[in-house]
Structures are given as C-alpha cells and as structure tokens.
C-alpha cells in the first residue's frame, strides 16, 4: 500500500523516465482488476440553470451573461435513444442545481428511460434532498456522481460561498447516504485549484480509499474568465506547494488513484481531454482509467453548458465522435465494453 509520503513524492516527481514506472504500474493494475475493456457513458447536460455560486464554475448563478436552457423530457429521451443505438450501456443525466428540475419530474424521466431502454442511469444533479435521492433510486436510477472537489474543508468552504446544504452537513455525508441506499457512488476532485497543495491531493487520494467509492472522476481545474476564481487565479497561486492544474498532474492523480483503489471505475475525463486535445483522453486510459464519458448534449445547448471554457471546440456529431473514439481505442489495444459496466468495487460488496 502506498503511504501518504510516497504519494506526495510521486505527485512532485518531474523525471519522465521515473514517471514511466508509475504509468506502467497503474496500467498493470488496471488491466489485472478491470481488464482491457473501456466502458462508454453518454452524457446529457439536461439544464444549465444553477442556484449555487461555486467560484470556479462557469454556470454558477452569478454569471448573468450566460444563456440558460433546460431540455424537455422528449429531447432527453431522443438523445438517450441515440446513446443506446451506439450500444452504450449508460446514460448520465447531468445538470446544475436547478430547482425547476423537480424531484417528481426527474422520477418520471428515470422511469421513462428505464421503460424504453436497457440503459443504466447515472445522475449528477448536485446536492439534492434525501427524499429525492431515495425516490430516484426507487424509480430505477443506478448511480450517482457527486464530487467532493477538494479534501481541504477550508478551501471547499472558500470556493463554495452561500452554501445551502439543506439537510446535509457536507458532501461526505451525502456520499455515505448514497452508498447506504444502494447507489453505485462516484466522487472526485479538481486538480490544481488555487490554494490546493500536493499534501491535499494526497489526502484526497487516501479519502477515495476510505470512502470505498465505486467511481472516481478527476479533472484539472480550468480557469473560467467569467468566474471569481478565473479572475483571481494568478494571484491565488501563492506557494511552492501549489499543485499544478496540468495534464501531467491529473494523470498522476488518476494513476495513484488506480493503485490505491484498484477495483473502481475511473473515467478519462473531458476536462483532461480539453487541456490536452492531442493526447489527453488516450493518456488517461493508458495511466489508470477504464471509462470514457462522451458528451451527447445537442447543439445549440452544448455551448451553454460552459462549466469551463474550451469545451465546444471538441464538438463532433455523435456518430463521428464515436468512430474516432473507437479508432483511438483500437490504437491503444483496448476494446469497447458491452453492457452496463457496473463497477467491480460495487459488485464485490454485493
């Protein structure tokens, strides 16, 4: 098992040759535990309305320049059909914390997807009430994603102002609840937030293990010019312990996550592919990841789900996007997984 100091040493390692040993180890463990298949999850960003003021996020409620949208149920069901037609096993419904997405409406949506398809349903809808989370689980939702973003509670509180956690103490409490009521539960962090140290990244990796998560998605922090953190970014990066928000550090975190949590599903995230367009997605898969989550949000909505800048340049029609991904998989000797791709970590608990 890796100690915290060993994790920190890897996070600070600069020598490319020594890092090869880290990539190789993570890749071997990935192959040994979760194999050579890569599971595809189709993401639909169903609403960019948000009640929160998260300082890093481009769709936070304070961003008055952004055009807001909400998909209709029929629009969502049509996209879900495309995702199933491409033989993906999972649809991910993602949104800001949009109060107009009522608990009942989401329940109805889940039931309809479950009725009309064989897809696993993953929800990523923020901090909702226990009653809603429970109703959605009963309606057939399989998984829930809620990132804790940073293991440093002081930093978390600083970048999440005007919190209204409703009945919840914090996100860890929500994650425990999600596991308890039977969701496959996912979390993750941003890497290189201003004020985030190497020490804290190591804490986060150890926290993944302690929480016994089923899915762990990590991405680089990408400064957004229309957010408080995007504006203060340079000023706040103030110490030699500041963790970089680059592709290399993101890959290190994913590789170390794989070593510490060998049975989890780890996506090679869109954020990583955004800051390294050539190699990001592929490198993620070669350094611990076993899942990709292509975006299926239709135009024109996709451009408005601007949690960070640079996402739209990646737009391809679904079929074309899919063909390119299959080609990339082939090149690195991996194959597309069929079926739902349930986390091994979840299965071993049942």
Q: Which of residues 138-197 bind ligand 5AD (CB under 6 A)?
A: 147, 149, 190
**CB nearer to ligand 5AD: pick between 137 and 171:** 171
What lies within 8 Å, CB to CB, of 13 at 6+ separation is 19, 22, 252
| Residue 184 · residue 143 · CB < 8 Å | yes
Q: Residue 266: CA atoms inside 13 Å, Cβ hemisphere, count?
A: 38
If one asks whether residue 219 binds ligand 5AD (CB under 6 A), the answer comes out as yes
One of 11, 109, 222, 256 touching ligand 5AD (CB under 6 A): 222
Options 4-12, 63-71, 220-228, 232-240: segment touching ligand 5AD (CB under 6 A): 220-228
User: For residues 65 and 67, what is the distance between their CA atoms, to the nearest angstrom?
Assistant: 7
If one asks whether residue 40 binds ligand 5AD (CB under 6 A), the answer comes out as no
Options 101-109, 194-202, 219-227, 290-298: segment touching ligand 5AD (CB under 6 A): 219-227
Q: What share of the chain is helix, strand, coil (3-state, %, to 5)?
A: 45, 15, 40
If one asks whether residue 308 binds ligand 5AD (CB under 6 A), the answer comes out as yes
If one asks whether residue 43 binds ligand 5AD (CB under 6 A), the answer comes out as no
If one asks whether residue 307 binds ligand 5AD (CB under 6 A), the answer comes out as yes
If one asks whether residue 259 binds ligand 5AD (CB under 6 A), the answer comes out as no
User: For residues 129 and 178, what is the distance between their CA atoms, to the nearest angstrom?
Assistant: 11
φ, ψ dihedrals at 184, nearest 5°: -70, 125
User: Can the peptide bond before residue 300 be classed as cis, meaning omega within 30 degrees of 0?
Assistant: yes
If one asks whether residue 57 binds ligand 5AD (CB under 6 A), the answer comes out as yes
User: For residues 30 and 51, what is the distance between their CA atoms, to the nearest angstrom?
Assistant: 38
| Residue 155 · residue 107 · CB < 8 Å | no
Options 5-13, 108-116, 159-167, 217-225: segment touching ligand 5AD (CB under 6 A): 217-225
Pick out the residues of the known binding site: 50, 54, 57, 124, 149, 171
Pick out the residues of the known binding site for [4Fe-4S] cluster: 50, 54, 57
Residues that bind ligand 5AD in the complex, under the rule CB under 6 A: 56-57, 147, 149, 190, 219, 221-222, 224, 271, 307-308
């Amino acid at each position: 098992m890796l100690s915290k100091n060993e994790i920190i040493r890897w996070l600070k390692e600069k020598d490319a040759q020594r890092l090869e040993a880290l990539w190789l180890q993570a890749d071997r463990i990935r192959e040994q535990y979760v194999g050579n298949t890569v599971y595809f999850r189709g993401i639909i960003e169903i609403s960019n309305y948000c009640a929160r003021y998260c300082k890093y996020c481009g769709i936070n409620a304070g961003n008055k320049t952004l055009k807001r949208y909400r998909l209709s149920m029929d629009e969502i069901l049509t996209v879900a059909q495309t995702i199933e037609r491409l033989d993906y096993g999972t649809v991910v419904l993602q949104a800001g914390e949009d109060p107009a997405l009522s608990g009942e409406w989401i329940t109805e949506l889940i039931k309809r997807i479950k009725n009309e398809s064989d897809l696993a349903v993953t929800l990523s809808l923020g901090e909702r009430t226990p009653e809603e989370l429970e109703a959605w689980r009963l309606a057939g939702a399989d998984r829930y994603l809620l990132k804790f973003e940073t293991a440093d509670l002081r930093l978390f509180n600083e970048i999440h102002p005007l919190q209204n956690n409703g009945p919840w103490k914090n996100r860890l409490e929500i994650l425990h609840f999600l596991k308890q009521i039977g969701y496959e539960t996912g979390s993750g962090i941003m890497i290189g937030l201003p004020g985030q140290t190497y020490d804290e990244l190591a804490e986060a990796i150890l926290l993944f293990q302690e929480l016994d998560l089923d899915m762990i998605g990590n991405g680089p922090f990408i400064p957004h010019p229309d957010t408080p953190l995007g504006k203060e970014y340079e000023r706040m990066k103030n110490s030699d312990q500041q963790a970089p928000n680059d592709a290399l550090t993101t890959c290190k975190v994913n590789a170390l996550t794989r070593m510490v949590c060998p049975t989890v599903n780890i996506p090679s995230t869109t954020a990583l592919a955004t800051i390294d367009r050539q190699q990001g997605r592929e490198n993620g898969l070669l350094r611990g990841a076993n899942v990709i989550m292509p975006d299926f949000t239709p135009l024109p909505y996709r451009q408005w789900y601007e949690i960070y800048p640079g996402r739209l340049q990646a737009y391809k029609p679904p079929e074309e996007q899919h063909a390119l991904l299959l080609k990339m998989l082939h090149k690195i000797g991996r194959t597309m997984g069929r079926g739902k791709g349930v986390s091994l970590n979840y299965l071993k608990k049942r």
